[in-house]
Amino acid sequence: MSASEAAVSDRIETFRWTPAHVAAIGDGAGARAGAAAPLIAAAPAPVLPGIDIWDHWPIVDRAGRTVAFPGGPLVVALTAPVLPDPDDRHAIARLRLMQAGADGWRDFGYLLPDTLNPGSREWAGNTILEEDGRTLSFYYTSAGVRGEARPSFVQRLLLTRGTLSFAGGAAHAGDWSAPEEIVVPDDVLYQRDMEGGGAVGAIKAFRDPFPIVDPVTGVEHVLFTASRAGSASAWNGVIGIARRDAAGWTLLPPLVDADGVNNELERPHVVRHDGRLYLFWSTQAKVFADGGPRGPTGLYGVVAEELYGPWRPLNGTGLVLANPAEAPFQAYSWLVLDDLSVWSFADLVGVATPPDDVAATRAAFAGTPAPVVRLTLDGDRTAVVG
């Protein structure tokens, strides 16, 4: 590590999300006071018949503002054909380009060519429209290895650039560059082995890239979901960060460390509001550490005045939004937009306990965008509107 890299590392004030923070959330309805999402009374209708949709996000500009297109925002979404077991969708996921309009959703097909991704499937990321109004910078997760006999959990953070055209109400992205691997886990800060036993919720992470330009320095960074290297705990989730300069990308110490508390701090993203930076992530009740306090499946976050911290837990605990107590699995993978609307997908709707077989899971799984929720942000406090 160079002297300049060491100086940057010294400046980062990693936030430790502790068992005490989670324990302070409490249980049941009290844990969700002011943070409960509205109940989804019935599963929303699929926007693409025969296709499951889960993580999805709009195309934004470098400041994180949703780009306005005639007819509504352009959206990138993880999709898969409806399968008997919805958990199997992760092994065949592909990204589609869509549009969310007042009169419904439009599908423009797969975002990337079949042969571009070096992995066996595509996982979540973020999509930036550059100042020229044509160039897309697409940061995404490549999972697995092309041609593998069974899906592995190798995860790579990739950046590719393409050209967006939008005419006559139709969108198309093409002329993609060869994907560039942004950074790789070093087994010093971030764990390199991703398998974690292979069960849902147990695999390790190096995924979900989120680009952000430091509003103070103007330097580009990328955040990502990762796992702490060298941990003695099976629950070692962190939110990592890397910085880009003339020499390339450099891994930095994590912004948030949940070692011993939680295995997955998924889809980290930052919203700028009233001169502050709000860093959000999603996690599920089932990935909190055994034997420790367990928070609800929900959206969590911290706030700071500068990208490198110090970060403070929102609402004193980190909990921002939770599924209602009577429907603890109804939605997941929340994304807070610049207007403080919150997107997610409808997961297991109308059930209070996990289904006990594949058929029941399939019947409850909606696999489509959930109703939009709204937040208010006031310093270190948040609330769900309505």
d(CA 102, CA 189): 45
Q: Is the pLDDT of residue 354 over 70?
A: yes
Average pLDDT, the chain: 94
Structure tokens at 200: 């849902």
Task: Tell me the pTM.
Answer: 0.95
* Dist. CA 124–CA 62, nearest whole Å: 18
**Interval 236-266: pLDDT, tens:** 999 999 999 988 999 999 999 999 999 999 9
Q: Which residues, 6 or more positions from 375, have their beta carbon under 8 angstroms from its beta carbon?
A: 320, 321, 336, 340, 342, 382, 383, 384, 385
pLDDT of residue 30: 47
Mean pLDDT value of segment 348-374: 96
* Residue range 48-102, pLDDT digits in tens: 999 999 999 999 999 999 999 999 999 999 999 999 999 999 999 999 999 999 8
116-151 pLDDT, tens digit per residue, is: 999 999 999 999 999 999 999 999 999 999 999 999
Determine if residue 31 is left, alpha or beta; phi over 0 gives left, psi from -120 to 50 gives alpha, anything else beta. alpha
**Tokens for 175?**
């002329």
Query: How far, in Å, CA of 306 to CA of 297, rounded?
Result: 28
**Pair 327, 352: CB distance under 8 Å:** yes
pLDDT at residue 3, as a whole number: 45
Check the CA dihedral 84-85-88-89 and report its sign.
positive
Please give the pLDDT value at position 201: 73
Read off the tokens for 30: 């009290």
Q: Is the pLDDT of residue 7 over 70?
A: no
